[in-house]
Structure 1
Amino acid sequence: MAQRRTPFGDRARYWFDSTLARGAAALVGWMALLCLAVVVPASAVLVWTDPDVPASLTDRLAKVWHLTGETLRLGGATGTPLRVMTSMLLALVTLLYVSTLVGLITTALTERLTALRRGRSTVLEHGHAVVLGWSEQVFTVVSELVAANANQRRGAVAVLADRDKTLMEEALSTRVGPAGRTRLICRSGPTTDPAVLPLTSPATAGVVLILPHDEPDADAEVVKTLLALRAALAGERTRPPVVAAVRDDRYRLAACLAAGPGGIVLESDTVTARLIVQAARRPGLSLVHQELLDFAGDEFYLITEPALTGRPFGDALLSYPTSSVVGMMRGDTPLLNPPPETPIAADDLLLVISRDDDTAWLGDCAEVVEEAAMASGPSTPARAERVLLLGWNRRAPLIVDQLRRRARPGSAVDVVADQGEATIRQVNEADATSGTGLRLTLHHGDVTRPETLRRLDVYSYDSVIVLGRDPVPGQSPDDPDNRTLVTLLLLRQLEEATGRALPVVTELIDDRNRALAPIGPGADVIISGTLIGLLMAQISQNPHLAAVFEELFSADGTGVRLRPATDYVLPGREASFATVVAAARHRGECAIGYRSHDDSSTSPGYGVRVNPPKDERRRWTAEDEVVVIGRD
């Protein structure tokens, strides 16, 4: 069989590619031939079409050479061969020098720009915030740090993560928005490498925040990052405060040891479970938590007040017209809602909720208290509760444990899930031995299917908690929220069909899905990453608040509660908020706000008002609620 002949064009292209593969010398040769093939004929055309062209062929060829030399910067001198060759030699040396110099400058600039794009230059800032790691929490943390720096002349936040610097900058610009006076600086590299951490200058930082990523080994990565930070700061006289978060409480001790004496480590899953249970017991409570934790509204401050030294704590409750006193900081120990007769010592710090740290000013509010409008009956007693838990994830056992801790006799939790049976059995056995009387029942079913929910008498439950699945490696990170949104859509259909509202508490991972959630206005939506991000940002500005929040969000301690307004003021009466504060003081509580039933469907606050002025007057209804700091 005759061999097929290769086309000439293919052979010529192969020969050309082969010569180029020989290196720079071949490329220079081809460039020279190409230039001569264009310049020499063009120069000949210019010479032969010139009206003053020399008559002889030799002079014409010399003119062509002169034009070619000027075009290619090869000197172009004419005369003897020695003169022409010397001129060409000098021109080539000059060309080599200039081209080499330009190449070196271009290469150096390219390498520098590449390094800057890679985020490998060192941050030279002082008092800045350093964020190590990348997850959904980073947008919340950076947003809150930007808000905290709004009244400062110059602030900076440096983010280090093992991601592309340009992608991080684009994501922060899109999700965080304008940073105002705060400079957002991104650096790229592994947070577990002590040689990379100095890029963010942690030794001169005001605070370092370490975020867990979204992978299963997130907690081990946080511990390793803390160890790398300790190694990077070895030999430094001063170290910045460190705030970190882990998901599993089994890693908290290791993280605390790695963080050192001044480190603060939060348990994100435990805190999230506590807030979900609190919101399930009292719908609307998540709105209060959001208001207290972000920097956009009123937040916690520690202030000194020498004028109140020696006076009982109860007097301080009505001593600030535009701020709410909720406790004291005695040394490193927070005293939330202490007994009203507790004396205020000289070195005690008052814990107040205020618009800013300079908006807490003294003023006697006792004169606007109307004792005739105060309620004097007993508090509304707690009763047994029935909770429907739709879905199961790693936080579900913590949620059940929180429900068990304060369960009244006869309480029940019904779980609908297609997984976690072994874990539920263990939780149920532990509850049986504890003797709390919380009945836990598992119903097999897919919560994203309509027939599963139709079989349930959802309106017989006091609250419905919807949980998404744990993210699975290799699966889309949006899958847990996607399933949760489907479940919420089915519950919304039941509400519309019956015309009755369900007390739903929803856990989402991505805050952007809040706007997509088909839920009623003012419903409780717990964004686990957002809450932990808010907590970390608050603690980063004042480390003393870590102990305050630990007590505030604990299952058995003093926390934020929503009580019926009829426990404090007579329904239908118009009274000042100072009257509510005085009534709460009689009950051993600190009133910090209220939720208006008439405005519970109106955004953005959905009726929640935290830290209203003491002289604010309104007509209180039986459906209104009062926000207090107290115990169950």
Structure 2
Amino acid sequence: MRKVSWQDRLRYKFDNTLSGGSAAVIVWLAALSAAVILTISFLVWLGQIGPSDEEPMTLSEAIWASLMRTLDPGTMGGDTGWRFRFAMLAVTLGGIFVISTFIGVITNSIDNKLDELRKGRSRVVESGHLVLLNWSEHIFTVLHELKLAAGARPDCVVILGNKDKVEMEDSIRERLGAGGRTRIVCRSGDAIEHTDLDIVSLDSARAIIVLSPDLADGDRDAQVLKTLLAIVNNPLRRHGSYHIVAELRDPRHVDVARLISHDEVTFVVAGDLVARIIAQTSRQAGLAAVYTELLSYEGSEIYLTDQPELAGKTFSDALFAFAGATVIGVAAHNGRPRLNPPLDTVIGQHDRLVVIAPEPESLRADLTTPSFDEAAIVVQPVTAPAPDRTLVLGWNWRVPSILEQLDAYVTPGSEVVVVADIEAAGAAVALLAARLQRFVPRFQFGNTTDRRLLDELQVESYQHVVLMCYDNVPPQEADARTMVTLLHLRDIASRCGHAFSIVSEMLDVRNRRLVEIAQPDDFIVSDQLVSLVLAQLAEVKELNDVFAELFDAQGVEIYIKPAGEYVRLGVPVSFYTVVEAARRRGETAIGFRRIEGEAYARNNQGIVLNPHKSATLTFGERDRIIVVAED
């Protein structure tokens, strides 16, 4: 082995200094420039060299002249005397080398800095902002809702995703346009790394949303769980609790997630939530539109509001206290909200009301007794629902959960048929049959896009049809198959003159808009609802208990019932009268659905929530009243 020489040691030390970056290179260039200037200046002074017809330069004059020619090669253009010219030429050549290298180093340093900024690795210095962790396709819906929630209030949303910063910004700009008063800041990083989490300043954030990332199904929840571990177990985290809302796909992972979260996290279980909503909306036409409006920040939403002037009053009194808002429940102090409680429930001093309103800040209670038309109120006994038939077309991992939820809604003796071209679906349905109490599901193998199969099934004999997206094909192909089946169903309904309710699951919101344009009275549910719930809970954590009761088959739910069960048809009535009619049935009226030819399509499928109570309305035979009730 060759012995290490002093040249090797010197070269090694030189290499180490260069590894210090641009600053080290600039220091070496300055040293080289100084060496050239001092050497030439010393030779000029020692050799008594100067311009023609002038006295020889002193050492200080020679240093100054050399420095000027190093910085500006054009300075030597006026030099005279060949000895002086050659000396200054040497300085100028050295200066050209040093300055050009210096410019290159500075340019490269600026490029590197811009590259670093482009990567989105600088720390976010914000307070009271909202953080989104993990990049997902439905992040756009969450951002849209957060922008609506902020309104005219300045706000900041910070995104930490495992994608290029510029790519994320371009995608958001393309899908959502300008941010308005809401600033959207993107940073690139991995949400399971403590150093990357420090970039988005979690300790000063008002809320954190952990999204299920765009990964394989088995990896999505694993990534969310690891992200939660990184947040709650960070040794440098703040002492107080975080406000975290996390999305999980599989209900089986909730128990493990709760062990990790230490009660700091509100979980939205996508599979369970969508299954519950599909089960409910499949029974009632128009219910999906009701949920979409309630969960969206467009129009009226659910709020919890303090109204101390109603302390000591009953829930029955509160129903008429607001002309522009709808009271649907009471949240006791340090207790869970109760929706549609008994009419004699007394509102405590520190209780809050659960209301549907456009803005809760403007609510002012009016304790005067409203007038309503007693003669227009209909007293009609509640009839028990008859057994019916439901057809489920398509298959994915949520179908078993939907069938379990349907078991809580259908009348005993009802029939549910599942049709799909997946062999494993038949085994899953057979296994599930033993756990169901009100119906025995039946499975039939077949291609759900085949018109001949649909004709053989006699779809017109069913009251409800549920279209599910396949999860064994890419999302766009799954949506395409659903759309083809949907078009066949519409044609069958048109030909036979039988109107059965259709609930279609879509994976891409853009595809949903296409079929809504074609015919808006098909009610489509997708993962968009999960995004809406995430945005709502990020703003108001306490709404989780409200949503849990609304979506639970055992609790209070939303129903859409014939208007003729409440008021006389064809008679002008105020909505105060509708509220009173519902109150006498132990229900809370929150809106109505008008069906007037195709006009209803221009108004959210005819759904009107939280109408002004003094508005005069005339209902027809097909119109419906939307109520919160327990049936």
Is the counterpart of residue 458 in structure 1 residue 456 in structure 2? no
Calculate percent identity across the aligned residue pairs. 35
**Could you tell which deviates more after superposition, 513-522 or 542-551?**
513-522
TM-superposed CA distance for 1:232, in Å, is 3.8
| Cα distance in 1 for residues equivalent to 2:627 and 2:430 | 33
Question: C-alpha offsets along residues 125-171 of structure 1, whole Å, 9 cap, x if unaligned?
Answer: 1111100112222001111111111131x211111110111111111
Q: Given that residues 74 and 88 in structure 1 are in contact (C-alpha distance below 8 angstroms), is that contact kept between their aligned partners in structure 2?
A: no
Within 5 Å, which residues of 2 pair with 1:117-132? 117-132=118-133
Instruction: Please say if residues 592 and 627 of structure 1, whose CA atoms lie closer than 8 Å, have aligned partners that are also in contact.
Output: yes
Runs of 5+ consecutive residues of structure 2 not aligned to the other structure: 1-69
Contact 1:299 1:354 in 2 (8 A): yes
2:49 aligns with none
Cα RMSD for the two superposed structures: 2.2
Task: Name the counterpart of 1:207.
Answer: 207
CA distance in 2: counterparts of 1:628 and 1:256, whole angstroms: 34
1:292-441 mapped onto 2 (5 Å cutoff): 292-330=294-332, 331-364=334-367, 366-419=369-422, 421-432=423-434, 434=436, 436-441=437-442
Q: Distance in 2 between matches of 1:119 and 1:213?
A: 19
Q: Any idea what the Cα deviations from partners look like across 1:561-591, whole Å, max 9, x if unmatched? A: 1111122112222211111111111111111
Tell me by how many angstroms 1:116 deviates.
1.4
Aligned to 1:106: 107
* AA at the equivalent of 2:255: L
Code of the residue aligned with 2:304 in structure 1: it is L
Q: What does residue range 480-499 of structure 1 map to in structure 2 within 5 Å?
A: 480-499=478-497
AA aligned to 2:552 is S
Change in 2 beyond 3 A, CA 1:496/1:565: closer
Correspondence for 1:150: 151
- 1:168-317, aligned counterparts within 5 Å? 168-214=168-214, 215-216=216-217, 217-232=219-234, 234-317=236-319
- The size of the alignment, in residue pairs, is 557
Task: State the Cα distance separating 1:241 from its structure 2 match.
Answer: 0.4
**Cα deviations by residue, 1:519-573 (Å, 9 ceiling, x for unpaired):** 5323211022x10111011111110101111111112211111111122112222
Q: Which of structure 1's runs of 4+ aligned residues deviate more than 3 A? A: 69-82, 231-235, 421-434, 495-502
Shift of 1:423: 4.8
Query: Which residue matches 2:535?
Result: 537
Q: How far apart in 1 are the matches of 2:162 and 2:235?
A: 20
Aligned to 2:6: none
Letter in 2 for 1:192: I
Residue 14 (structure 1) aligns with: none
The Cα of 1:493 is off from its aligned counterpart by 3.0
- Report SS of the residue matched to 2:604: coil
2:71–2:99 Cα contact (<8 Å) kept: no
1:12 maps to: none
Please list, as runs of the form range in 1=range in 2, the aligned pairs for 1:35-54 lying within 5 A after superposition. none
Task: Please tell me whether the aligned partners of residues 71 and 95 of structure 2 are also in contact (alpha carbons under 8 angstroms).
Answer: no
Q: Which amino acid aligns with 1:626?
A: I
Partner residue in 2 for 1:619:
618
Distance in 1 (alpha carbons) for counterparts of 2:472 and 2:202: 32
Match of 2:136 in 1: 135
Shift of 1:255: 2.1
2:160 alignment partner AA: L
Does residue 628 of structure 2 align to residue 629 of structure 1? Answer: yes
**Structure-2 change in CA distance of 1:141 and 1:439 (3 Å):** same
- Residues 181/471 of structure 1: CA separation in 2 closer, same or farther (3 Å cut): farther
Q: Look up the match of 2:57.
A: none
Deviations 1:263-315 (A, max 9, x none): 10111111101111111100100111111111111011111122221221111
> Is residue 460–residue 493 contact of structure 2 (8 Å, CA) maintained in 1?
no
Q: Which residue of the partner structure matches residue 550 of structure 1?
A: 548
Contact 2:563–2:623 under 8 Å retained in 1: yes
Taking structure 1 as the reference length, the TM-score comes to 0.84
Amino acid at match of 2:349: A
Whether the 8 Å CA contact 1:384–1:410 is kept in 2: the answer is yes
- Aligned letter for 1:255? A
1:52 corresponding residue in structure 2: none
Between the aligned partners of 2:587 and 2:177, the Cα distance in structure 1 is 40
Separation in structure 2 between the aligned mates of residue 510 and residue 203 of structure 1, nearest angstrom: 34
- Partners of 2:320 and 2:370 within 8 A in 1: no
CA–CA separation in structure 2 for the residues paired with 1:174 and 1:74: 54
In the alignment, is the contact (CA less than 8 A) between 1:202 and 1:233 conserved in 2?
no
Contact 2:429 2:443 in 1 (8 A): no
CA distance in 2, matches of 1:452, 1:196: 53
- Output one character per residue of 1:350-391: Cα deviation in whole Å (capped at 9) or x when no partner: 111111012322124643311211111112421212100000
Partner secondary structure for residue 123 of structure 2 = coil
Contact 1:366 1:578 in 2 (8 A): no
SS at match of 1:478: helix
Indicate how the Cα distance of structure 1 residues 232 and 623 shifts in structure 2: closer, same or farther if over 3 A, else same.
same
Bigger mean CA deviation after superposition, 619-628 or 532-541: 619-628
Structure 2 letter corresponding to 1:505: V
Cα distance change of structure 1 residues 380 and 619 upon mapping to structure 2, 3 Å threshold: farther
C-alpha deviations, 1:142-201, integer Å up to 9, x for none? 11111111131x211111110111111111112122211111111111112121111111
What letter is aligned with 2:308? Answer: P
In 1, Cα distance between equivalents of 2:434 and 2:237: 53
Q: Which residue of 2 aligns with 1:65?
A: none
Secondary structure at 2:441's aligned position in 1?
Answer: strand
Q: Aligned partners of 1:370 and 1:233: how far apart in 2? A: 65
- Between 1:330-339 and 1:376-385, the stretch displaced more is 376-385
TM-score by length of 2: 0.84
Which one-letter code corresponds to 1:208 in the other structure? I
What is the distance in 2 between the residues matched to 1:366 and 1:622?
30
Task: Say whether the 8 Å CA contact 1:390–1:415 is kept in structure 2.
Answer: yes
SS of the residue corresponding to residue 628 of structure 2 reads: strand
Quickly say closer, same or farther: Cα 1:418–1:70, change in 2 above 3 A: closer
CA contact (8 A) 2:502 2:523 kept: yes
Task: Kindly state the Cα deviation for residue 325 of structure 1 after the two structures are TM-superposed.
Answer: 0.2
Which one-letter code corresponds to 2:146 in the other structure?
A: L
**8 Å CA contact retained: 2:310, 2:365:** no
Aligned partner letter, 2:396: N
Does the aligned pair in 2 maintain the 1:287–1:524 contact within 8 Å? yes
Aligned pairs for 1:577-596 (under 5 A) are 577-596=575-594
Q: What is the letter of the counterpart of residue 257 of structure 1?
A: L
Distance, in Å, in 1 between the alignment partners of 2:167 and 2:103 is 31
Unmatched runs of 5 consecutive residues or more in structure 1: 1-68
1:119, distance to aligned residue in structure 2 (A): 1.0
